[in-house]
A and B are shown apart, each in its own frame.
Chain A
Amino acid sequence: MAAEIYLNVAVSGILTGLVYGLMAVGLSVIFGVVRVVNFAHGEMMTIAMYLAIVLFNGFGLDPLIMVVPLAAVLFALGYAMQAGIINPFITRPEHSQFILLVAIALVIVNVLLLIFGPDARNVQTPYSFDSFVVGPLIIDATKAYAGAATLAITAALFGFFRFAALGKAIRACADNYTGALVVGLNVKHLYALTFSLGAACVGAAGSMLVLLVDVTPALGPALTLLAFIIVITGGLGSMPGAVVGGVLIGVTEAMAGLFFTPSAKSMFSFALLVLVLLFRPQGILGKRLS
């Protein structure tokens, strides 16, 4: 009996972790190409989550259906941010980029606070309490749908970067900035597209996460930190690493909540992060940076 509880918690952790993983894929894509650490990542995610709630409450649109439209909205937002604000900062020192994105994050959190207030909000769908029974496992239907959608989106993104001409061009920018300029690629446009793709991941992940957790404006910074932990654990700049890291953190937090107290669960993620940074700084699946 006891073993089944652990198994159930582990599966639940894996599925939640997949959604976290998609968010982290966005951060990883942006860092891997643009070399900017997006300190406003979680805050952008809360924008998507609030949009999903407004669309659900106002028009009855299911967040799972809105995954693609919201990804498109965040895609546009990401393009505007990169092309309009962040691009001049590409060549500036890290601390300068950091302050810029912290300022953006500050504005996002507090605009959301002005519009929606500090109360926690969530979405109750008709299938909120459904579950699938697979042998000894009881799998929450919402988490199963979200996990499956995450896998599909990540696979599409992998395919795009591996096979599409545009994806290859973006990878060329990441590999060699000067080389990309020499062969005539429009690097500024490609950087903006990359940031948009990262933002689109966040839009998709946000519209699914709204089904799993309550959202408040203060959730943004917490999600940003979570995304950092995941990408560094998995390997900054590695897409499979971000997914693996997300699942690992999801399971770690779920297990820590079961064995200890739920309020201390993030401590285990941070401890995991410290261990990874010390013994494998490039992350589990990352390549050694020179």
Chain B
Amino acid sequence: MMARLLDGVAGRGLALLAGLLAVLLVVPWVANDYVLTVLIIVFYSAYTGQAWNVMMGFAGQLSLGHAIYVGLGAYAAAALYVHFGVAPWLGLAAAIAIAAACGAVIGFLAFRFGVGGVYFAILTIAFAEFARIGFDHFRWVGASSGFFLPVANYTRNDLWNLRGDPTMFYYVMLALTVVAFALCHVLLKSRVGYYWQAIREDEVAARSLGIDTFRYKMYAIVLSAGMTAVAGVFFAFYYNNLFPEQVFHISRSIELILGPIIGGIGTLFGPLVGALLLTGLSEAMQELLTALGLDVPGAKQVFYGLCLLVVVMALPGGVWPWLAGKLGVTGPRS
């Protein structure tokens, strides 16, 4: 396992990675809550981006409705906790199962009936929107007026029930990001990973070589949905409130995929780099506009959109392949 994890990583890249991890581990001792909160958002988007990348970056299936898996995971664990007192780590299993089942249904319907490309992307939007409106009328979990987790005054961190201060959430999210990164690294070098890449490059050719493309596309969507649901559970217990209009909204799905696309689709570091860039950009913009006294609704998003335009026009392959070349660490596809 360890050998497989380290397989094919350049020495210089490994040293950089170990240094980065060491720095991230000690950050909570020196940084304030603001920095921690921003880093939690970075890890959250890196993690969800990584999960989405399994489907699009590895297997070439464009999903524009990943908010549905975040939302199902969040609502499943939160409802079990609020209504039955089930701890989030147990609720996690239910969350993963529900989201994976939903992914399986969408995948089965789409791949069995030969829905692909733009049509598949719009099918995923349709399911997410369907869920959004459905949860808006789902009274058991608060419908459109929102679903709230009890926020008690805590004296110490309760990891089992995920109640605590930002430091605890920071380590939980960091751990999730590292695990997702390692999992994707192993997957990319495994038999399944090579099949996915074959399907991504040319599905007809992959099938003619004897790859059961339906089965491997199903693996991709189920795995991606399950991984995304884990982020949903974190979301529910970190923010303590869920509104269908926010959790399932198409803008959540878009935010989720901006990171890996900006960072570099199909690469391991892309989601990480993209999350760091976009969150940093968003926070810096906020600071700048506040300092200039231009902090009006919409101003930040306008600049954010313009930056996005510039990046996507200048670096069509994403930032990471370009950056990796500059740093001299690895080839473009790692």
A264-B133 in contact (CB<8A): yes
The answer, among A106, A232, A273, for a CB contact under 8 Å with B305, is A106
CA distance A273 to B251 in the complex (A): 20
The reply on B284 being an interface residue by CB < 8 A is no
Residues of B close to A266: CB separation below 8 A:
129, 133
Given known contacts A221-B251, A261-B137, A266-B133, A274 and B316 CB-to-CB distance under 8 angstroms: no
* Interface flag for A64 (CB, 8 Å): no
Measured CB to CB, the closest approach of chain B to A96, in angstroms, equals: 6
Interface segment, one of A3-11, A110-118, A130-138, A198-206: A110-118
Within 8 A of B (CB), among A71-118: 85, 88, 92, 94-96, 98-100, 102-107, 109-114, 118
For the complex formed, measure the closest distance between the CB of B122 and the CB atoms of chain A, giving whole angstroms.
5
Taking A107-B305, A111-B298, A278-B113 as contacts, is the C-beta distance between A95 and B129 under 8 angstroms? no
Q: Assess the A107–B115 pair: CB atoms within 8 A.
A: no
Tell me the minimal C-beta distance from A113 to chain B in angstroms. Answer: 4
Q: A225 at interface (Cβ–Cβ under 8 A)?
A: yes
Cross-chain contact B119 with A110 (CB below 8 angstroms): no
Given A270-B126, A270-B133, A99 and B250 contact (CB-CB distance below 8 Å): no
Task: Let me know if B122 and A228 touch, CB within 8 A.
Answer: yes
B126 touches A229 (CB 8 A): yes
Bound CA–CA A271/B134 (angstroms): 11
- Min C-beta distance of A49 to chain B, whole Å: 17
Q: Hey, which chain A residues are within 8 Å of B304, CB to CB?
A: 106
| Given A263-B136, A270-B126, A281-B113, A113:B261 Cβ within 8 A | no
Would you call B254 and A102 a contact (CB within 8 A)? yes
Most A-side CB within 10 Å, residue of B115, B118, B262: B118
Q: Does A221 lie within 8 Å of B250, measured CB to CB?
A: yes
Which B residues are in CB contact (< 8 Å) with A111? 298, 302
Structural contact, A263 and B137, CB atoms closer than 8 A: yes
Q: Look across to chain A and name the residue whose beta carbon is closest to the beta carbon of B117.
A: A94
Stretch from B38-46, B85-93, B162-170, B306-314 contacting the other chain: B306-314
- Give the chain A neighbours of B305 by CB distance below 8 A: 103-107, 110
Sort A-B residue pairs by CB-CB distance and give the 10 closest, nearest first: A106-B305, A113-B298, A110-B298, A107-B305, A110-B301, A103-B308, A114-B298, A267-B133, A270-B130, A103-B309
Given contacts A94-B62, A277-B122, 19 further A-B pairs with CB under 8 A are: A92-B316, A96-B316, A103-B309, A107-B301, A110-B299, A110-B301, A110-B302, A111-B302, A225-B250, A229-B126, A263-B133, A264-B133, A270-B126, A271-B130, A273-B122, A273-B126, A277-B123, A278-B109, A281-B115
